[in-house]
Amino acid sequence: MTSYILKTLWRHRTRTLLTVTGAAVAMFVFCFVGSVQEGLQRLTSGTDADRSLIVFQENRFCPTTSRLPEDYSGRIKEIPGVRDVMPIQVWTNNCRASLDIVVFNGADPAQIQATRPLSLIQGSWQQFATQRDAAIVGRNVAQRRGLKIGDQFSIGDISVKVAGIFASTVPSEENLIYTSLAFLQYTRGLDAAGLVTQHEVLLSDDADPDRVAAEIDETLRAGSVATKTRRKGAFQASTLSDLVDLIGFAHWLGYACVGLVLSLVATTTVMSVQDRIKEYAVLQTIGVRPLRAMRLVLAESTLLCLVGGTTGTLVALVALAWGGFAIGAEGATIAFRPSIGLAVTGCLVAVVVGIAAGIAPAVQAATVPIVNALRQD
């Protein structure tokens, strides 16, 4: 059975190659779309997103427009349920959606090391903590910009020396550059002495995030700047609201790719069956049962789809692993990362689509009228 199917596909190898290539391209796009959706899900859910709060200036959006007093952190710490507060100064080269967004986060180096899930793969924490213009760079940024330890990196008014390159268990973190808070506050042109973009609030295990958020805003209402406090996940989802809509639309693009593979493989399989209609009639005359003929056609379509789909999925996973792709807006980024779930989904979709594409031509092959088929020229 296997040798017969392989000989059949090889008999029309140009058509087979084009079908496999088309399926691979469609599944490549499908996996990229799936990676974007997974990245958004990781960013807006999970323990970090639900157990941390972001205190931002009310009615402000881009990080460059939010200017909160740094000393708000002392008042926030006094609220029950707050474990720690990290003032953060954010600077970004682009507040709009961008595939090459650069985001600087300025915070206390000791707090960064203690609270962020970072591990230096190159460089030194000590140099980062002691050198004023030092920065640690996420490996995705380093890869895109070609940065290495000791390089001087400049963008806009900011110029830093790369003291370390880090990896993180949170993929979006790998698209950030961390500096000391004082460096960003006193960089020429930013005019942010004593001010920060936001306060990140870490909660105790038994704290109610919504209650603490409401209490923070109420406590700071009498301050010089009104605030809006939300869970970190909700804050990032709101920040990326335009991208969320776009990603929601891209979801349909993924379905369209699956439909394209279905149509492509089904068309190829129908053409293959029609070319060999007399052959299937002969098979029936020598005792091949209709169900076996159906299995032959289904195996052919499934093999076509599986080879093309698996190839496209693997190429997409490699590209995602090595490309370091990300899209961001207003200081928040969505990282495109490969995953086991994405690989399994790609392969399963390929198998299911291959079976579905072969059903109609399989029925045709199994029910061909023997006499009429043998009379065909």
pLDDT of res. 6 = 67
Do 140 and 269 lie in one domain? The reply is no
Per-residue pLDDT at 242 exceeds 70: no
End-to-end CA distance of the chain: 26
Contact 70, 194 (CB under 8 A): yes
Provide the residue type at 126 as one letter.
Answer: Q
Provide mean pLDDT across the span 66-71.
90
Q: Which domain-ending residue is among 225, 258, 293? A: 225
Q: Looking at the domain assignment, is residue 187 inside a domain?
A: yes
pLDDT tier at 374 (50, 70, 90 boundaries)? low
| pLDDT per position as a tens digit, 224-237 | 899 999 988 888 77
SS3 281: helix
Do 267 and 320 lie in one domain? The reply is yes
What total number of domains does the chain contain?
A: 2
The residue ranking higher by pLDDT, 331 or 360, is 360
Do 201 and 289 lie in one domain? The reply is no
Do 31 and 99 lie in one domain? The reply is no
Contact 85, 201 (CB under 8 A): yes
Do 110 and 218 lie in one domain? The reply is yes
Q: Looking at the domain assignment, is residue 110 inside a domain?
A: yes
pLDDT of res. 368 = 67
Question: Residue 69, by phi and psi: left (phi above 0), alpha (psi -120 to 50) or beta?
Answer: beta
User: Which residues lie below 8 Å from residue 304, measured CB to CB, with a gap of 6+?
Assistant: 9, 16, 19, 20, 23, 265, 268, 269, 354
| Half-sphere exposure (Cβ direction) of 267: Cα atoms closer than 13 Å | 12
Highest average pLDDT, of 60-64, 217-221, 278-282, 373-377, comes from 217-221
For the entire predicted model, the pTM comes to 0.77
pLDDT tier at 282 (50, 70, 90 boundaries)? low
pLDDT tier at 343 (50, 70, 90 boundaries)? very high
| Half-sphere exposure (Cβ direction) of 4: Cα atoms closer than 13 Å | 11
Contact 52, 200 (CB under 8 A): yes
Contact 90, 331 (CB under 8 A): yes
Q: Looking at the domain assignment, is residue 235 inside a domain?
A: no
Contact 217, 176 (CB under 8 A): no
What pairing do the DSSP bridges indicate for beta strands 103-107 and 176-180? Answer: parallel
pLDDT of res. 291 = 77
Lowest average pLDDT, out of 116-120, 179-183, 267-271, 308-312, goes to 267-271
pLDDT of res. 76 = 94
pLDDT of res. 208 = 92
Count other Cβ atoms within 10 Å, centred on residue 95. 17
pLDDT of res. 56 = 92
Do 39 and 68 lie in one domain? The reply is no
| pLDDT per position as a tens digit, 104-154 | 999 999 999 998 889 999 998 999 999 989 999 999 889 888 899 999 988
Lowest average pLDDT, out of 74-78, 112-116, 234-238, 341-345, goes to 234-238
pLDDT of res. 294 = 78
Do 217 and 113 lie in one domain? The reply is yes
Q: Looking at the domain assignment, is residue 66 inside a domain?
A: yes
H-only helix segments in the chain:
2-11, 13-44, 47-50, 72-77, 109-115, 125-130, 139-145, 181-185, 209-220, 232-239, 241-275, 277-285, 290-323, 340-366, 370-375
What Å distances lie between residue 134 and 19, 106, 226, 305, 332, CA to CA?
Answer: 52, 11, 32, 51, 22
Contact 116, 108 (CB under 8 A): no
| pLDDT per position as a tens digit, 79-93 | 999 999 999 998 887
H-only helix segments in 324-369:
340-366
Return the DSSP state at 175.
Answer: G
Do 258 and 342 lie in one domain? The reply is yes
| pLDDT per position as a tens digit, 142-188 | 988 889 999 998 887 789 999 999 998 888 888 899 999 999 888 87
What six digits make up the tokens of 266?
């089904």
Per-residue pLDDT at 20 exceeds 70: yes
**Residue length, the chain?**
377
Write out the residue range of the structural domain in which residue 258 sits. Answer: 2-43+242-375
Q: How far apart are CA 136 and CA 120, in angstroms?
A: 8
The residue ranking higher by pLDDT, 283 or 85, is 85
Per-residue pLDDT at 373 exceeds 60: no
pLDDT of res. 109 = 93
Do 133 and 185 lie in one domain? The reply is yes
Do 258 and 218 lie in one domain? The reply is no
Q: How far apart are CA 100 and CA 155, in angstroms?
A: 12
Q: Which domain-ending residue is among 193, 225, 257? A: 225
Contact 55, 184 (CB under 8 A): no
User: Which residues lie below 8 Å from residue 199, measured CB to CB, with a gap of 6+?
Assistant: 54, 55, 68, 72, 73, 76, 85, 86, 87, 88
Q: Looking at the domain assignment, is residue 49 inside a domain?
A: no
The residue ranking higher by pLDDT, 283 or 134, is 134
| Half-sphere exposure (Cβ direction) of 41: Cα atoms closer than 13 Å | 9
Beta bridge partners of 69: 195
Give the rounded percent of residues in the chain with a pLDDT score beyond 70: 86
Beta bridge partners of 165: 122, 137
Beta bridge partners of 335: 326
pLDDT, mean over the chain: 84
Do 254 and 302 lie in one domain? The reply is yes
User: Which residues lie below 8 Å from residue 191, measured CB to CB, with a gap of 6+?
Assistant: none
